[in-house]
Each structure stands twice: as structure tokens, then as C-alpha cells.
């Protein structure tokens, strides 16, 4: 089945698994479009997506619990292929007449999966035995009518089940995680062998579709877009400009919270290379005034957001008629801020793009990147002809350096951090690791330590270095930077940045830590 825009797609229903977004990533990696939807998404959303098949995610519930998420009737009524994962498999089994019960021996972690003698199309090309990642306390005790066991483990007689006639399958394990080495192969087999996908979703097709969509939405309206030099807003501006040309006006607000030299570089890039009409606003003093005496990280974010909106609104008001606001909202923003599963989880952080400006501005949102991951946005940027140095810039938080200064923000502390951060970036780029490392930056801690510089004792600032590897910021691991590189960075910061006498390196992953320090 193909959507109205001519794009094949997969509907992933989220039942609350911490791995749900990974399913979406694995599907996208096969050049098949998908969306991660709440398990109780209305049928209208499914009809609009017009999927080729469904994937049911895992989740923390037990199917027999009171109030446990149910399988929407449209999943079975549609007659499309279905792949249930963990809780999704158990839910599918229950709804089709099988039996699920608590397992006497729970499985968490690696297990060896043994395929049946005649493997299904789901396991074509795979070895007869391979490692999988389990995370479940329940298991299927009786298969639904028409289903057979396709694989087992020592503790799960039904490690996988299937009914080829109905194109319905279930996996007790998680194929989306890296701990299941052949998981991507299984998802690929489901997409192409079961659902009949072609895998023709590409950067080029996305740009064509997004440009047409923006034109349809905006019509003869006027659009404004806040740009900062970050990848998300830059690609958004370039995409919207391609769609509507001079009907877009970009607004660049200098908050004073950007990295060293970025304001000048960004303004030149937008005006000279992109040909954007850019309104420049110097608001450094307004932001410093708003943040005076503030140390709480969420309060910083709130004040920065409100101050930005006030300034942005004032500038927009000078432009006359404005109908739309273009934003660089990405899929991780949506997932983290609201929870794709609908019943989600506490908000991880505020001041995301999600939500837009206050209602009284009465602007409609244009969010062409809303369902893309960061690496996909980079590919879109290249497709649009943006230079690699703009596309592969490391992500930078909306509140800027405010989330990398622990404690009060002052002009002096900002300058200290800008200088230290510039050294970190210079040294990592000098050894060619700037593409390999996802983010790398300095943090100004609230700590002061005793040191010895020359013949004098000092009591000065402690700077932390953070460098992580990741694909989309949902998870991250600390980068194993070479010791000699760390030594150069530390030596330069202590010698070149006044008021710093100690440098430390952060070796925490996300989770449990976050990428930023605030």
C-alpha cells in the first residue's frame, strides 16, 4: 500500500518500550518511511499514513494487567502484515486466541535463539542459531490457532511465532537493539519479504515531498524562521526557502550565549552563501539581565525561552504581515518532550522547539523536519546543497552556553567558557576527530580548586570536557579521546584561559547521564 503522496510507510505502535524509537531508526535505515505512533492512535492517523504494515513495540505492562494497553481493532481489521515485538507479540497472541502467563524463569539479557528446521521468510539468510536480546517476564503458553513456533530459546519455547497466511509474526526478543546482531536482518526481511516494501524513501524523495508540502501549507503566506547557525534551523531555512523563496524572512537573535566567533560566521554564511534575508538583533544585554542571579537550570531555560520569544515577537511585529513560523523540530524533540507513546514519561527537558510560540502570536507552525532523526537531517542538508561544514556542525542546545555554565551566568563566566570551548573544538578538529565525535565542548563548573601556577598558589575555576559519540542524541557514550589530545587541551586551557587551573574529563554515558551538564 502506498500513501496519498506516493510514499510507502510502516506504522509502529508504541506500547511504552524504552527501545521503541530504535525500531523507527532500524526501519528508516532500510530507506522505508515509518512513524512511531501512540498505541491508541486514532484510526484517522493510520489512514493518513496508509501503511504497508504494522510493528507493535514492546512495553513494561503485562497483557493480563488491569488497564494494560490494548491492541486497536484497526490493526487486525486492516488485513496488513503485523510484527509484534515482546509485549507486542504477547498482545497479538492474546487477541488471536493464544494464552500468555507469567514465566517461571524470566529472561533479561542475551539468549541463544534456535530457528525451526524450516525457517520462515522472516529469518531468510540467517544462521540456524544466533544471539538475541531478551527482556520479558511473561511468555506465551499456547499459540493462537494457525500459528507455529518459528524459533525457541532454552527458556522460551516460542521465541518467535508466525502465521504466514495472515502475514502475522511475533518475536519474544528485541531485534531493534545492537545486542541482537541479526536484528537488522530480521527487520529487513519483514519489510521486504513480508510487507513488500521497495525501500525507495531517500533524501531526494524527502526534499521533493517536503518542498511540495511547504508550498501547499504556506500558499501565498509569509514565513519567519529563527536561525542560529545550528544544523536543524539551517536545514529548515534552506528547505523552506527552496519552497517559497523570498516569502521567508530569517531572524537571528544574538543572545550572547553562542560560541566564540559564531555570530559573525553565521551571519556571513546566511547572507552570502544561502542568500537569506536575515534580520539581526543584538540582545546580549537583555539576556544577561534576565539571567542575573539565576542558578537553577530549568529556570534558566524558562527565562531564556521567554526572553527569546519576547524579542522574537517584537522583531516579527516590525515585519508587517506574518502568517507562519518555521521551526527545526526533530523527531527526538518530539519523543523526549511529549513521549511518542502518548502516555509518556515525564518531560526530560524544557525549551525544546516543540510547542512553538505563544497562542497570542497566532502563527501556524511549519515543521518540515519533525519526523526526522539528526543523521537524516544532515543527509537532507547535503541534498539541498549545503556545504559539509554547515551540515556536520555539532549539535548546539537552544539555550546555548547557558546550559554549559553551572551556576550563575555572567559576562565574565561566559567569556571564560567561550575561550575554553574554542580550544576544545580547535584541538579536536586539528586531529580530524570532528566527524567521528558527535558532540565535544567545555563546561564551566561551579567548583574552584587550589592550584600552583609559577610560584603562586591559585584558587581558580574547574573546567570539564565533554565529548560523546551518538547517532541521534537519544543515547550516547563518552568518546575515548587519545590521552595526548586530552593533555594538549588541558594544557592550553590552563595556560591560555585566565582564571582556570584545573581540567577534568567526563566519562559518563547517556543514560544515566545526559549529554549536557545542567
Catalytic site residue from 39, 136, 152, 174:
174
349-365 burial, b at 16+ Cβ within 10 Å, e below that, comes to: bbbbbbeebeeeeebeb
Q: Please give the helix or strand (H or E) that residue 375 lies within, else none.
A: helix 374-383
Whether the predicted pLDDT of 343 surpasses 60: no
Task: Give residue-wise pLDDT tens across range 48-97.
Answer: 999 999 999 998 888 888 888 999 999 999 999 999 999 999 999 999 99
Instruction: Provide the mean pLDDT of the chain.
Output: 89
More confident residue, 361 or 386: 386
pLDDT score at 3: 40
Catalytic site residue from 8, 35, 39, 86:
86
d(CA 278, CA 307): 20
Task: Give residue-wise pLDDT tens across range 425-447.
Answer: 999 999 999 989 989 999 999 99
pLDDT score at 63: 83
d(CA 19, CA 115): 24
- CA terminus-to-terminus distance, the chain: 46
Q: Please give the helix or strand (H or E) that residue 447 lies within, else none.
A: strand 439-453
Q: Residue 476: pLDDT band by 50, 70, 90 thresholds?
A: confident
Catalytic site residue from 107, 176, 315, 336:
176
Pairing of strands 456-469, 160-163: unpaired
pLDDT score at 357: 54
The DSSP letter of residue 505 is E
d(CA 386, CA 304): 29
Pair 396, 232: CB distance under 8 Å: no
d(CA 512, CA 475): 9
Pair 428, 469: CB distance under 8 Å: no
Q: Is 176 a catalytic residue?
A: yes
Q: Please give the helix or strand (H or E) that residue 337 lies within, else none.
A: helix 331-338
d(CA 431, CA 471): 21
pLDDT score at 18: 83
Pair 366, 247: CB distance under 8 Å: no
12 pairs with which residues across the strands?
36, 55
Residues recorded for the chain: 518
pLDDT score at 359: 61
What is the residue-wise DSSP string for 54-95? Answer: EEE---SS-TTSTT-----HHHHHTT--EEEETHHHHHHHHH
Query: What is the grid cell recorded at 182?
Result: 541479526
d(CA 60, CA 72): 18
Query: What is the grid cell recorded at 198?
Result: 521497495
17 pairs with which residues across the strands?
none
Q: Residue 109: pLDDT band by 50, 70, 90 thresholds?
A: confident
Whether the predicted pLDDT of 233 surpasses 80: yes
pTM reported for the whole predicted model: 0.79
* Average pLDDT, integer, range 292-308: 93
Residues 6+ apart with CB under 8 A from 218: 243, 244, 247, 323, 324, 366
Give the residue from 260, 231, 227 showing the smallest Cα distance to 442.
260
Amino acid at each position: 500500500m502506498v500513501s496519498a503522496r506516493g510514499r510507502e510507510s510502516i506504522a509502529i505502535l508504541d506500547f511504552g518500550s524504552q527501545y521503541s524509537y530504535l525500531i523507527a531508526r532500524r526501519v528508516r535505515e532500510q530507506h522505508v518511511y515509518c512513524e512511531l505512533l501512540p498505541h491508541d492512535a486514532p484510526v484517522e492517523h493510520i489512514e493518513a499514513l496508509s501503511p504497508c504494515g504494522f510493528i507493535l513495540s514492546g512495553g513494561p505492562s503485562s497483557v493480563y494487567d488491569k488497564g494494560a494497553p490494548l491492541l486497536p481493532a484497526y490493526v487486525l481489521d486492516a488485513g496488513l502484515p503485523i510484527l509484534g515485538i515482546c509485549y507486542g507479540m504477547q498482545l497479538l497472541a492474546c487477541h488471536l486466541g493464544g494464552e500468555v502467563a507469567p514465566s517461571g524463569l524470566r529472561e533479561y539479557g542475551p539468549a541463544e535463539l534456535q530457528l525451526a528446521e524450516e525457517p520462515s521468510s522472516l529469518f531468510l539468510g540467517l544462521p540456524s542459531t544466533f544471539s538475541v536480546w531478551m527482556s520479558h517476564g511473561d511468555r506465551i503458553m499456547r499459540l493462537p490457532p494457525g500459528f507455529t513456533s518459528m524459533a525457541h530459546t532454552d527458556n522460551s519455547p516460542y521465541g518467535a511465532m508466525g502465521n504466514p497466511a495472515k502475514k502475522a509474526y511475533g518475536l519474544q526478543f528485541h531485534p531493534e537493539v545492537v545486542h541482537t546482531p541479526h536484528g537488522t536482518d530480521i527487520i529487513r526481511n519483514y519489510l521486504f519479504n513480508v510487507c513488500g516494501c521497495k525501500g525507495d524513501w531517500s533524501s531526494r524523495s524527502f526534499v521533493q515531498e517536503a518542498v511540495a508540502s511547504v508550498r501547499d501549507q504556506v500558499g501565498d503566506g509569509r514565513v519567519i524562521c529563527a536561525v542560529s547557525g545550528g544544523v536543524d534551523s539551517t536545514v529548515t531555512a534552506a528547505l523552506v526557502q527552496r519552497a517559497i523563496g523570498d516569502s521567508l524572512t530569517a531572524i537571528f537573535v544574538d543572545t550572547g550565549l553562542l560560541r566564540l566567533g559564531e555570530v559573525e560566521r553565521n551571519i556571513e554564511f546566511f547572507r552570502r552563501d544561502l542568500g537569506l534575508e536575515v534580520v539581526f538583533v543584538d540582545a546580549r544585554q537583555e539576556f544577561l539581565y534576565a539571567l542575573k542571579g539565576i542558578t537553577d537550570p530549568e529556570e534558566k531555560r524558562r527565562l531564556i525561552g521567554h526572553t527569546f520569544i519576547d524579542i522574537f515577537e517584537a522583531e516579527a511585529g516590525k515585519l508587517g504581515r506574518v502568517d507562519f513560523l518555521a521551526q527545526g523540530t526533530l523527531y527526538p524533540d518530539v519523543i523526549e518532550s511529549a513521549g511518542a507513546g502518548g502516555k509518556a514519561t515525564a518531560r526530560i527537558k524544557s525549551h525544546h522547539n516543540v510547542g512553538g510560540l505563544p497562542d497570542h502570536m497566532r502563527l501556524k507552525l511549519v515543521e518540515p523536519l519533525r519526523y526526522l532523526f539528526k543523521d537524516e537531517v544532515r543527509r537532507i542538508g547535503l541534498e539541498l546543497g549545503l556545504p559539509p561544514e554547515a551540515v556536520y556542525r555539532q549539535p548546539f542546545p537552544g539555550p546555548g552556553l547557558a546550559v554549559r555554565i553551572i551556576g550563575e551566568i555572567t559576562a565574565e563566566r561566559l567569556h571564560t567558557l567561550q575561550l575554553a570551548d574554542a580550544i576544545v573544538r580547535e584541538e579536536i578538529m586539528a586531529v580530524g576527530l570532528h566527524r567521528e565525535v558527535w558532540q565535544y565542548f567545555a563546561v564551566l563548573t561551579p567548583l574552584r580548586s587550589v592550584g600552583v601556577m609559577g610560584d603562586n598558589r591559585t584558587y581558580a575555576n574547574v573546567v570539564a570536557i565533554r565529548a560523546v559519540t551518538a547517532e541521534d542524541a537519544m543515547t550516547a557514550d563518552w568518546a575515548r579521546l587519545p590521552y595526548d589530545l586530552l593533555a594538549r587541551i588541558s594544557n592550553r586551557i590552563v595556560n591560555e584561559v585566565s582564571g582556570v587551573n584545573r581540567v577534568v574529563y567526563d566519562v559518563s554515558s547517556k543514560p544515566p547521564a545526559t549529554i549536557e551538564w545542567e
